[in-house]
Structure 1
Amino acid sequence: MKGNGSSNTINAVETTLTIVEVLKQINAAGVSEIADEVGIPVSTTYMHLNTLRHRGYVTKSDGDYRLSLRFLEHGGAVRQQMEFFGIIQDVVNQTAYLTGEIVGFGVEEQGQRVALYRSEGGGAVGDQIPIGEYTYLHWTSLGKVILAHLPDRRVDEIIDEHGLPQGTPFTITDRSELEAELASIRADGYATDDAERRRGIRGAAVPIMDADETIVGSLGVAGPEHQFTEAYLSELIDTLLEKRNVIEIRSEFYE
């Protein structure tokens, strides 16, 4: 799993970041296990881990290393620096309270959907995704509605880079089928997800645009497939469209 260096990158930094990614996947591990996963000597792994620990990015307990909450601090700071985040947070919380469901806001970064913020209503049951999670855009309603409103060239770049891997048997993995789906999303003004990322989970999302009609993110709701009937999903979409208008009116993009 060792990071691939190139003439434009620093091998030691590549290795450190690979160690961080390994720790994210396996949660906690000893130096030998991490070295095996990364594919480098134990002594080299220890030096990288010791540096990360010294800088506060890794903790050690009973011989096992794990990532620290310092990453949460940085992610939170980046999110707070977004001019529109306060509005998003407020509207997502209101929508979750109103619907009783899990409501989230997603953005596109590096060709993937990032869960920027989420809130759970009183009766929420469903996909417990962590804030900050990256996943394929074509897997979720939050991602598909963003993909549908990106320029064609950007969509082609994303598919060329990430492909169309399968999340469940219901995931769209054919490029022509996805293009047809994206056209329908643009025409309808919303996207739905029918267990395309995880079995038993349905969702819907609407695009959030700026004053220039450029996509900036998506507002969505998700829950159990048996509860999210067509009629109920239609009601939720109406609520999302209403809240989208609130975000766009309040947003600084319109100033």
Structure 2
Amino acid sequence: MAQNSVATLKKGLLVLELIRKHQGITLAEVMKELQLSKSTAFRFLTTLEKLNYIYKIQTHYFFNPKKFSNGLEKRSNKDWASLHSIYQVAQNVQMSTYLGKVDGTDLVMTQVLHSPFLHSTEEELGNRSKLHQSALGKVILAHLNEDKLNSLLDKMSLEPATANTFQDSQLFRYHLKAIYEDGYAFDDEERIVGIRCVAVPVFRNNEAIAALAIAAPADQISRTNIKQIAIKLQAGSNAVTKEIETLENT
């Protein structure tokens, strides 16, 4: 009995170590890598998930680093570099994908993925732009409550990044209302000439805390495919929210 228990524990630790080394791994990949039957691999994965050592997004399993951190340590609200669901968004839309958060009147990039969408682009993490200059910033602003929005707009000067950037504060307010009604924002070369962007908000407790977006050359994003892109991004936003909640509650 003791030998069987040790052997089972060893296999379980091998599964956990395998998951730790990957940016997401499927049941089939665990079976292949460790030469396990489907039922055995599934049993290990289910047990590790129930114990919060790993978590699952769609068909992929991910290592939960918070399970092994000091209980007094808190994950910084600004440190989302370990989120995995954005990888699946990028692979689904096959366009450069961004996750950004608000810092004062700036938008700060917390994840940036370019083709082949396997690794976050480290040199672009932390890049800043003004909130009004991109779809990411605009979609967050549009979903803030009135007090927070007014407080931010009072501090913003609406300086242009290109000739297409909003500079009229009254028109910008009307634009934010339209974004709120649509549920997504469109950046028509407002920050970078030749680049268009579509963004949706990321919510937690019904509050917009970030934005998920894709960006591509203007000829790849037309007014006829914006809504289709937005629908894919909204599904991705839901996955990001779920992953955040999973990590914070374990």
Residue number in structure 2 paired with 1:187: 181
**1:198 — aligned with what?**
192
Task: For 1:159, give the aligned amino acid.
Answer: L
CA–CA distance in structure 1, aligned partners of residues 129 and 210 of structure 2: 14
Match of 1:100? Answer: 94
Task: Report if the CA contact (8 A) 2:186-2:197 is conserved.
Answer: yes
> Following TM superposition, by how much is the alpha carbon of 1:160 offset from its aligned partner in structure 2, in angstroms?
2.5
Quote the Cα distance in structure 1 between the aligned partners of 2:164 and 2:232: 26
Q: Quote the offset at 1:84 in angstroms.
A: 8.0
Q: Which of 222, 245, 250 matches 1:252?
A: 245
Give 3-state SS (helix, strand or coil) of 1:170's partner: coil
Aligned 8 A contact 2:86 2:240 in 1: no
Other-structure match for 1:119: 113
Structure 1 residue 161 corresponds to structure 2 residue 177:
no
1:217 matched to 2:210:
yes
Cα offset for 1:236? 1.4
Q: Report the Cα distance in structure 2 between the residues aligned to 1:206 and 1:129, rounded to whole angstroms.
A: 24
Give the distance between the partners of 1:147 and 1:156, measured in 2 at CA.
10
How large is the RMSD of aligned CA atoms in angstroms? 2.7
Q: Secondary structure at the match of 2:219?
A: coil
What amino acid is the match of 1:121? S
Give 3-state SS (helix, strand or coil) of 1:243's partner: helix
Q: Do the aligned partners of 1:114 and 1:133 also contact (CA within 8 Å) in 2?
A: yes
**Taking every aligned residue pair, what percent have the same amino acid on both sides?**
26
Q: 1:101 to 1:173 in 2, by over 3 A?
A: same
The answer for unaligned runs of 5 or more in structure 1 is 1-78
Q: Aligned pair count?
A: 172
Measure the CA separation in 1 of the matches of 2:175 and 2:123: 24
Aligned equivalent of 2:225, options 225, 232, 235: 232
Aligned partner letter, 2:150? D
The answer to whether residue 167 in structure 2 is matched with residue 173 in structure 1 is: yes
State how far apart, in whole Å, the 2-side matches of 1:161 and 1:170 are: 21
Residues 251 and 183 of structure 1: is their aligned pair in 2 closer, same or farther, counting only changes over 3 Å?
same
Post-superposition offset of 1:83 = 8.8
5 Å matches for 1:65-144?
81-82=76-77, 85=80, 89-122=83-116, 130-144=124-138
On the 8 A contact 2:139/2:201 being kept in 1, the answer is yes
Question: Within 1, Cα distance between the matches of 2:214 and 2:230?
Answer: 9
Match of 1:38 in 2: none
Residue 138 of structure 1 aligns to a residue whose secondary structure is: helix
Q: What runs of 5+ residues in structure 2 fail to find an aligned partner?
A: 1-73
TM-score, reference length from structure 2: 0.62
